[in-house]
Amino acid sequence: MKAFSYKMYFFLIPALVYQLIFGVYPLIYNLILSFKDVNLITYIGGTSQWIGLSNYVQILKDPVFKKAIFNTLIFTGLSLCFQFIVGFCLALLFNRTFPLKGLFQSLIMIPWVLPIMVSGSFFRWFFNDQGMANNILLSWGFIDKPIPWITSQILPILSITAANIWLGIPFTFILLYTGLRAIPLELFESAEIDGANWWQNILFITIPILKPVIITILTLGCILTVKAFDLIWIMTKGGPGDVSQLLTTLSYSLAFNKFHFGKSSSLLVIMVLLVISLTILFNSIKVEEESSIE
Amino acid sequence: MKWLLRTVFIVIMLLVIVFTGFAQKNVTITVQDYFDPAQSMGKFIEEKMVEFENNHPNVKINHTYIPYSQLLPTILQEAITKTVPEIIMVNNPNISQLIKAGVLKDLTGKVKEWGWENWEDYLKGYRDNGSYEDKIYAFQITGNNLALFYRKSLLDKAGIANPPKTWQELEEQCKKIKEVLNITPFAYDGEASDEGSFQFYSFLWSNGGSLLELDQPEAIEALQFLTDMFKKGYIPRDVLNITSQGDLTPWFVNGEVAFMINGCWEFGWHLTEDVMQKLGDVKVTSIPVPEKGMHSINAFGGECYGISSNIDPAKYDVAWEFLESLLSSDFNLRLNIASASLPTRASAVNEILTEMPILEPFLEQSKYALPMALMGGMENYGEISSILWVSIQKAFTGVATPEEVFKEAAQNIKGIFSPEDYEKYKQLARTLLQEASKK
């Protein structure tokens, strides 16, 4: 065993400094702001007052916040669910050999390669009343008048979720596909000899072996989805009205439309707590799984 | 040998330092605005910078372009870190906030030296907007307002002889155009941004409504009228998600709409001379009013320049000198011709009509145009505007009736102020509105 050396801490310094400046400092600063009455004038003038938990109380009472929480849960839940199902099916498909596999694999990665500005604008046009989705449905005779995908009371949140699912599929697919490739083929061969069918192979071999990968995907996917902002902002800006408001868009709106920086910070603190709780939840499942394997 | 190399190295370094020192300009001024250098206004401002540099060899002027939507957040970040550039552009509704936040320098002393008559040459609304408690902080260099654009050929096809003058006529003509031409006739910007609020003011103020009293019948009627137009299918639903008023123009150019509410800047942006010639039927008139005999009371937009309060005192005189060169009546005229905006100096107003007669309806309306921030609670205007655009979208999409959304909005707006401030700003808005109605 190697002797303990302080030298190894030396090599951690760059990462630590980076984390302190770009991770810890903004978090603490945001936390401080959340306890102060900060608006544009007091922020610039440095005259903001401590107001305790007032920002939190106000934000929790705000009906738009409740709407944003509900929308965020819908958006995150549906996104994770569909991204996982489609990504998993694609991973299973691409685990086989077929012509032009490489080409199709590259095509699947396109959503990930495109700048969000491009995909967001595309989906806004796609879901417009005069957009591609309605044009196709109208020309095929499925509908007789345009569906208000992003201009009604209920559909906007579902439309932005659909766009986000499309964006997130490559991420889920590539991780699951890599995991699948690592499963030894012998396991499936033995199962086949024992009479297992395709479905049983998936249920009793593939999924249990991929469980750590799945939990990682869900954890990362959850973090990425809860903090999604640009796609929604480009498509609907949280509107019309507040119907597609998520925690992120509401926070931006509070800060840069209404200049309630304190309230916006308290919302971000709540959001960080939400993400940390979900991450702990997923990690605890992972730890349980690892200890059961040991 | 080593000493020789060392000496040569030191001599070279000294020469580099000396020559770069000589080559460097003594004073560097940065001008920050949202005029894209690739477009006419940006090019025009940059030409002025080069001209100024040529006349002042020791001065270097940098141009920093920030996109419109990011200008205020950027100024805010700069203000907190005390790194606001020497000369900054501010969109006119945000002036009050930045004056109160101490971001802009009091220029009253410089204006006195420059000549008070120059300041008085600015039209009153623009003066009110750039000053606070008798101190001058910013100069509006371009002005604009909205009017009703229409395609004459489409109106002819629908059998309409003249454009609408009243709300009722507008609705009737939209109905006729929809029936005859099967298009959604009226492009009105209902987006979730200040531009969405900006479009509503002509309807609100012309009907005698106030931004600080949205629960009053005049305001509710204005929203009810537009909501009905939207629900009857006269306004395209996609207006809720456009990104700027400029997005309306492609529909107008393609003949997908017969009317649009848009600003004079369109003649320097999408409706350029060649496009206008090709279409051959684009006309402009005042925004329809609730009843005959009234005149349209519009909000004025435009851009202001001011000097940062954290400017290095050694740079102040040069920064002012450059700003002064942007403020001359002649430059005001040329700049506004280049951007198809309205001059803000009285001495330049009449001349622009000979150059651009199509701006006539805008200039006529500018007599009654009101400043948004003064009409909407000064430093709280930004928040109030955001309450307004959310309410309009809620009414359009049927989340609640115009009356319900405006009652809720009025309550929220009232809650922003102390009772004394609310009364003060409400009275200010009423006075300005009454003055504009009487003119």
According to DSSP, the residues that pair with B342 across neighbouring strands are B143
A5 phi and psi, to 5 degrees? -130, 135
Query: Which residues of B fall within a CB distance of 8 Å from A242?
Result: 390, 394
Query: Which residues of A fall within a CB distance of 8 Å from B394?
Result: 240-242
Query: Which residues of B fall within a CB distance of 8 Å from A129?
Result: 236-238
For tokens 């080069």, the residue is B50
Is B18 a residue whose pLDDT tops 60?
Answer: no
The answer, for A45 touching chain B at a CB cutoff of 8 Å, is yes
pLDDT in tens, B41-84: 888 899 999 999 999 999 999 999 999 888 988 998 899 889 99
Interface mutation vs chain B, best among A37, A38, A40, A150, most B CBs within 10 Å:
A40
| d(CA A197, nearest CA chain B) in Å | 50
- Taken in order B106, B111, B112, B118, the sign of the CA dihedral is negative
Query: Which residues of A fall within a CB distance of 8 Å from B398?
Result: 153
**Residue partners of B43: CB distance under 8 A and separation at least 6:** B37
Pairing between β-strand B131-132 and β-strand B135-136 as defined by DSSP bridges: antiparallel
Name the nearest CA neighbour of B239 among B279, B185, B289.
Answer: B185
The answer, for B109 touching chain A at a CB cutoff of 8 Å, is no
Which of B191, B238, B379 lies at the smallest CB-CB distance from A129? B238
Band of pLDDT at residue B21, cut at 50, 70 and 90: very low
Say what the pLDDT of residue B289 is: 97
Say what the pLDDT of residue B14 is: 62
Reduce the DSSP state of residue B284 to 3 states and report it: strand
Region B202-214: mean pLDDT is 97
Measured CA to CA, the distance from residue B268 to residue A8 in angstroms comes to 63
Q: Is the ipTM, as predicted for this complex, more than 0.85?
A: yes
* Apex B373 CA angle, B370 and B375, nearest 5: 55
> Two tokens at B409?
């909005």
The answer, for B250 touching chain A at a CB cutoff of 8 Å, is no
Say what the pLDDT of residue B13 is: 64
Say what the pLDDT of residue A239 is: 84
* Apex B354 CA angle, B44 and B435, nearest 5: 90
Which of A44, A153, A238 lies at the smallest CB-CB distance from B101? A44
Is-contact A262 A51, C-beta < 8 A? yes
Is-contact B233 B178, C-beta < 8 A? yes
Inter-chain touch A153–B399, beta carbons under 8 Å: yes
Inter-chain touch B73–A239, beta carbons under 8 Å: no
Is B280 a residue whose pLDDT tops 70?
Answer: yes
Bigger pLDDT: B262 vs A39: B262
Name the nearest CA neighbour of B188 among B169, B172, B171.
Answer: B171
Query: Which residues of A fall within a CB distance of 8 Å from B103?
Result: 44
| d(CA B143, nearest CA chain A) in Å | 23
Is-contact B285 B150, C-beta < 8 A? yes
According to DSSP, the residues that pair with B357 across neighbouring strands are none
The answer, for B183 touching chain A at a CB cutoff of 8 Å, is no
Measured CA to CA, the distance from residue A86 to residue A266 in angstroms comes to 36
> Two tokens at B186?
């009226």
The percentage of residues in chain B with a pLDDT greater than 90, rounded to a whole number, is: 78
| d(CA B396, nearest CA chain A) in Å | 9
Q: Which helix (H) or strand (E) holds B66?
A: none
Omega within 30 of 0 (cis) for the link into A240: yes
Is-contact B373 B427, C-beta < 8 A? no
Q: How many CA atoms lie within 13 A of A34 on its CB side?
A: 20
Region B114-130: mean pLDDT is 91
The answer, for B416 touching chain A at a CB cutoff of 8 Å, is no
pLDDT in tens, B337-392: 888 999 999 888 878 888 899 999 999 998 889 999 999 998 899 999 999 999 99
Region B403-421: mean pLDDT is 96
- Interfacial A residues in 137-166 facing B (CB < 8 Å): 146, 148, 150-153
Inter-chain touch B240–A240, beta carbons under 8 Å: yes
Which of A151, A238, A256 lies at the smallest CB-CB distance from B73? A256
Name the nearest CA neighbour of B237 among A144, A116, A156.
Answer: A156
Q: Cα dist. B425→B136, B379, B390 in Å?
A: 20, 11, 22
Which of A124, A130, A241 lies at the smallest CB-CB distance from B393? A241
- What is the pLDDT of chain B when averaged over all its residues? 92
Residue spans of chain A under pLDDT 50: none
| d(CA B382, nearest CA chain A) in Å | 6
- Counted across chains A and B, CB pairs separated by less than 8 A come out at 86
Inter-chain touch B240–A256, beta carbons under 8 Å: no
Name the nearest CA neighbour of A150 among B430, B235, B167, B239.
Answer: B239
The answer, for B80 touching chain A at a CB cutoff of 8 Å, is yes
Say what the pLDDT of residue B49 is: 95
Q: Which helix (H) or strand (E) holds B90?
A: strand B87-91
DSSP state, residue B106: P
Say what the pLDDT of residue B405 is: 97
Measured CA to CA, the distance from residue B200 to residue B136 in angstroms comes to 29
Inter-chain touch A258–B97, beta carbons under 8 Å: no
According to DSSP, the residues that pair with B148 across neighbouring strands are B261, B285
Q: How many CA atoms lie within 13 A of B120 on its CB side?
A: 4
Inter-chain touch A129–B237, beta carbons under 8 Å: yes
- Looking at domain A63-293, its CATH class is mainly alpha
Which of A130, A151, A257 lies at the smallest CB-CB distance from B240? A151
Q: Which domains occur in chain B, in start order?
A: 28-140+303-340 (3.40.190.10), 146-300+373-438 (3.40.190.10)
Amino acid at site B410: A
Search chain A and give the residue with CA nearest B81: A44
| d(CA A43, nearest CA chain B) in Å | 7
> Two tokens at A264?
């916006």
Is B151 a residue whose pLDDT tops 70?
Answer: yes
Measured CA to CA, the distance from residue A292 to residue B106 in angstroms comes to 71
The answer, for A240 touching chain B at a CB cutoff of 8 Å, is yes
Measured CA to CA, the distance from residue B129 to residue B139 in angstroms comes to 9
Is B2 a residue whose pLDDT tops 80?
Answer: no
Is B417 a residue whose pLDDT tops 50?
Answer: yes
Inter-chain touch B382–A151, beta carbons under 8 Å: no
Region B310-314: mean pLDDT is 94
Name the nearest CA neighbour of A51 among A41, A40, A36, A68.
Answer: A36
| d(CA A253, nearest CA chain B) in Å | 9
Domain boundaries, chain A: 63-293
* Apex A109 CA angle, A79 and A128, nearest 5: 55
Say what the pLDDT of residue B125 is: 86
Concatenating the DSSP letter of every residue in A268-280 gives: HHHHHHHHHHHHH
**Residue partners of B98: CB distance under 8 A and separation at least 6:** B75, B79, B90, B104, B306
A99 phi and psi, to 5 degrees? -60, 145
Inter-chain touch A41–B396, beta carbons under 8 Å: no
The answer, for A259 touching chain B at a CB cutoff of 8 Å, is yes
Interface mutation vs chain A, best among B189, B396, B397, most A CBs within 10 Å:
B397
Measured CA to CA, the distance from residue B142 to residue B302 in angstroms comes to 5
Question: 3-state secondary structure string, A191-253?
Answer: HHHCCCCHHHHHHHHHHHHHHHHHHHHHHHHHHHHHCCCHHHHHHCCCCCCCCCCCHHHHHHH
CB atoms inside a 10 Å sphere around CB A135: 13
Say what the pLDDT of residue B178 is: 97
Inter-chain touch B79–A44, beta carbons under 8 Å: yes
Measured CA to CA, the distance from residue B385 to residue B416 in angstroms comes to 12
Is-contact A158 A77, C-beta < 8 A? no
Measured CA to CA, the distance from residue A161 to residue A164 in angstroms comes to 5
Is B22 a residue whose pLDDT tops 50?
Answer: no
> Two tokens at A7?
């030298």
Q: Is B133 exposed, middle or buried (0-12, 13-18, 19+ CB in 10 A)?
A: exposed
Name the nearest CA neighbour of A130 among B256, B124, B197, B88.
Answer: B256
The answer, for B25 touching chain A at a CB cutoff of 8 Å, is no
Search chain A and give the residue with CA nearest B69: A256
Inter-chain touch A241–B390, beta carbons under 8 Å: yes
Torsion of CA B347, B352, B353, B358, to 10 degrees: -140
For tokens 């709409």, the residue is B257
Reduce the DSSP state of residue B159 to 3 states and report it: coil
CB atoms inside a 10 Å sphere around CB B70: 12
The answer, for B165 touching chain A at a CB cutoff of 8 Å, is no
Is-contact B137 B128, C-beta < 8 A? no
Using only the alpha carbons of chain B, give its radius of gyration. Answer: 24
